[in-house]
A = this chain, B = another copy of it.
Amino acid sequence: MKPFVGVLLWASSILAWAQALPSWNEGDARSRIVAFVQAVTEPDGKDYVAPGERVATFDNDGTLWCEQPLYFQLVFMLEQVKAAAPKHPEWKNNPAFKALTSPDPREITRVSHKPLLALVGIANSGMTVEAYDQTIRDWLATARHPKFNKPYTDLVYQPMQELLAYLRANGFKTYIVSGGSIEFMRPWVEKAYGIPPEQVVGTISQVEFETKGGKPVLRRKAKLDFVDDGPGKPVGIYRSIGRRPIAAFGNSDGDLQMLQFTEAGPGRRLMLLVHHDDAEREFAYDRKSNVGKLDRAWDEAKAKNWIVVSMKSDWKKIFAFQP
């Protein structure tokens, strides 16, 4: 390469890095991310990774979008229970159903999980996958978050959208690896994150192929086939991607094994946790939270020097709609 061209390329790279991640404050988190990306993309560097192996996996709830006060998918699925009630008169005296439909919101915290999840399973199965997909789209179009009064899909983190784009601009393939279900994410994540349906790894319900009446359909069953959370995340990555990530991003103990699995591979690696410490602009929670609990993974992050992002001090803004 001619020296002049080299200098030009170098200058344009510097410029690209300076423009990347505009919603991230200068600081340890941002500079370590940029240093990692420079290291694995520098063709002559000792840490170079070929593009095909540049796999980055992202948890969704609490990492790419908000998860408080309750996982949004759970809100949707509980709504489906209420919507299905007219078809299930036998639920009338079911304690879990009574708690769910009680005007007193504390009632729901008093019933055990198992009968509630049984109702959720029934109400979210039996239909074709296309019909369920449409129900999800319809709900997302009208439902509003109780704190922000915005569509749930507006509650994606602007700095993480920039991070996804920055990684892809540097030859990474970005995946979601979430405890949420594949069907709940696929309708909206391409628009929100630039991640196509085939790069969504998640929890999987049983579906069955049927040709009743000559028309082939896939029908949802009430049984879960695979839970993509905790130790399930490395398994989900193995099953759907077949390559070990070189960078992994999470926010809770459910992401710990994905980060451990990422770190255990050869060569340079990046492990990052988002810490929810901004009660004003979003929510503040960690060790004691029922939703998105960050306890063991936080200790391990400190011990192993993984990046821990403070939403309060590392991010200029959290949501695009905020000033």
Complex contact A216–B182 (CB within 8 A)? no
Complex contact A238–B207 (CB within 8 A)? yes
Complex contact B260–A231 (CB within 8 A)? no
- Given A235-B208, A235-B209: A197 touches B261 (CB 8 Å cut-off): no
Number of interface residues of A (CB under 8 A): 36
8 Å CB contact of A216 from B217, B241, B257: B257
Complex contact B211–A234 (CB within 8 A)? no
Closest B residue, CB atoms, query A261: B216
Shortest CB-to-CB span from A276 to chain B, Å, is 26
The answer, yes or no, to whether A242 is at the interface (CB within 8 Å) is yes
Complex contact B235–A196 (CB within 8 A)? no
Complex contact B240–A240 (CB within 8 A)? yes
Within 8 A of B (CB), among A185-213: 186, 190, 196-198, 200, 204, 207-209, 211
The answer, yes or no, to whether A223 is at the interface (CB within 8 Å) is no
The answer, yes or no, to whether A46 is at the interface (CB within 8 Å) is no
- Given A211-B260, A257-B209: A198 touches B241 (CB 8 Å cut-off): yes
Complex contact A209–B231 (CB within 8 A)? yes
Specify which chain B residues have a CB less than 8 angstroms from the CB of A207 in the assembled complex: 235, 238-239
The CA of A238 and the CA of B217, in the complex, are separated in Å by 11
The answer, yes or no, to whether A264 is at the interface (CB within 8 Å) is yes
Closest B residue, CB atoms, query A217: B264
The CA of A182 and the CA of B165, in the complex, are separated in Å by 29
Specify which chain B residues have a CB less than 8 angstroms from the CB of A150 in the assembled complex: none
Specify which chain B residues have a CB less than 8 angstroms from the CB of A52 in the assembled complex: 190, 196
Specify which chain B residues have a CB less than 8 angstroms from the CB of A182 in the assembled complex: 239, 242
Complex contact B204–A261 (CB within 8 A)? no
The answer, yes or no, to whether A215 is at the interface (CB within 8 Å) is yes
Q: Can you list 13 contacts pairing A with B, beta carbon distance less than 8 Å?
A: A173-B198, A197-B241, A197-B243, A198-B240, A198-B241, A198-B242, A209-B231, A209-B257, A209-B261, A211-B260, A215-B264, A217-B264, A218-B261
